[in-house]
Amino acid sequence: MQTESPPRSAYPWYLASSSLWMGGMSLQGFLLTWLLVGVLEIAPDRTGLTRSITELPPLIMLLLGGVLGDRINGRSYLASMHLLMCLPPLIVAMVFELGLLSYWWVVLFGLLMSTIQALSDPARQAILSRVARFDAQRAVTLMTLVTSLVGIGGVAIGGQLENLGLSPVLAAQALLFGLGIIAVWRLPQLPVSAGRSRAKFAAGLRAVWRQQLIRNVIGLNFLSGLFNAGAYVVVIPFIVKDVYAGGASLYSWVVILFTLGSIGSSLILLTFMPLRRPGRRFLIMQLSRVLILLVIWSEPPLWLFYAALVTWGVNAGVTTTLARSIVQELAPPNERAQVLSILLLSFMAAAPISSLLLGQMIEQFSPLSALLPGMAISLVIFGVGVAKSGLWGYASASRREN
């Protein structure tokens, strides 16, 4: 554990580097989806398969990223990840200018970006506890708020794809990651403690298994993402395209509205944090999600569809932030990056698995029908979470200390 407080400038520079990273990754999510759905016009089942191809193989890198995050100087490691992230967009821009862009180039693009992200994210999230001068709940929520705001800028750039062209948008993406290197180098030195330098690959798995509450949060979070994250990633683009006859501009607006909802959730949480019963709020949000998905499933007018997306963003922001803050608070310091890598694995593994299933559902039935599993899963999470997980009665140490 840290023996002294970090410099006051550490957390702002951490926010700056993380925000630029999020801007690039938000643009990446938009680009990959719209290149498949709107540019190449890939069928829904093949789109789901492609998302799985680009997201499943890098998942093992999350565990490796957790080990490296506990063994390598944090500042140097993040700087190298930012530098690596600049390369794939520039390569794809060059391929596009040469007239060689194809389906497999898009797959390679997604695969490379997902792999580097998986290597980077555990270390980035573990560093949060070393640079913040206040409790984990507020540190996580404030980071979510600021990075989401910058993420909207990334999506807005993607929304100009049809006006600017692909190459300028990819160059802007590379620039976002490159600027992040400057912010990373303004962080204090983040050397590895003796205990962390001897961290073993399975240490994080053992730490998760020892802590029943961490184990249950990660398990329920996986279920939550299984059909809800997949619905947002795979189903919503086809609802935009097939139900509302929209293009890249409408899709970017949809993503921005969802992100604004997520930002709103951070503002709400900051007002009341630190929460005494964060697990209880996490479970209640599962019930509200059922109503949100039901509204979207009913094929409402566009204004109500927009309102439901904002509300869904609030819901997703609250559940994601609370799950992460609980794990961040409970994780042992010497294995924190590895424990967080497993939490991230639960986030990221759910989406490609559900993409395969939901892509098939869209192909066989309709985009709206693929929202139904998310409603059922949310009800299951609430019931199991209240009865078996321990989350309902969990009292946060952050609140007890304030």
pLDDT digits (tens, 9 = 90+) for 161-197: 778 888 999 999 999 999 999 998 888 776 665 554 4
Q: Is the pLDDT of residue 254 over 80?
A: yes
pLDDT recorded at residue 178: 94
Per the prediction, the chain carries an average pLDDT of 81
Whether 329 contacts 278, CB under 8 Å: no
Is 361 a domain residue?
Answer: yes
Q: Residue 170 is encoded by which pair of tokens?
A: 């990819």
Q: What is the pLDDT of residue 241?
A: 81
Q: What is the mean pLDDT of residues 330-354?
A: 74
Q: Is residue 92 part of a domain?
A: yes
Does the residue 5 lie in any domain? no
The answer to whether residue 94 is domain-embedded is: yes
> For residue 388, how many other CB atoms are within 10 A of its CB?
11
Write down the number of H helices and E strands in the chain. Answer: 18, 0
Q: Is there a domain that residue 98 lies in?
A: yes
Residues 341/342/343/344 CA torsion (nearest 10 deg): 50
Q: Is the pLDDT of residue 100 over 50?
A: yes
Percentage of residues of the chain with pLDDT beyond 70: 90
Q: Which of 174, 134, 155 is nearest to 14 (CA)?
A: 134
Query: Would you say residue 401 has pLDDT above 50?
Result: no
Is 194 inside a domain boundary? no
Is residue 333 reached through a cis peptide bond, with omega within 30 degrees of 0 on the bond before it?
Answer: no
Residue 149 lies in a domain: yes
For residue 131, the model assigns a pLDDT of: 81
Q: Is the pLDDT of residue 20 over 80?
A: yes
Distance CA 20, CA 381 (A): 34
State the residue range of the domain holding 377.
10-188+200-400
Domain count, the chain: 1
Residue 2 pLDDT grade (very low, low, confident, very high; cuts 50, 70, 90)? very low
Q: What is the mean pLDDT of residues 303-310?
A: 92
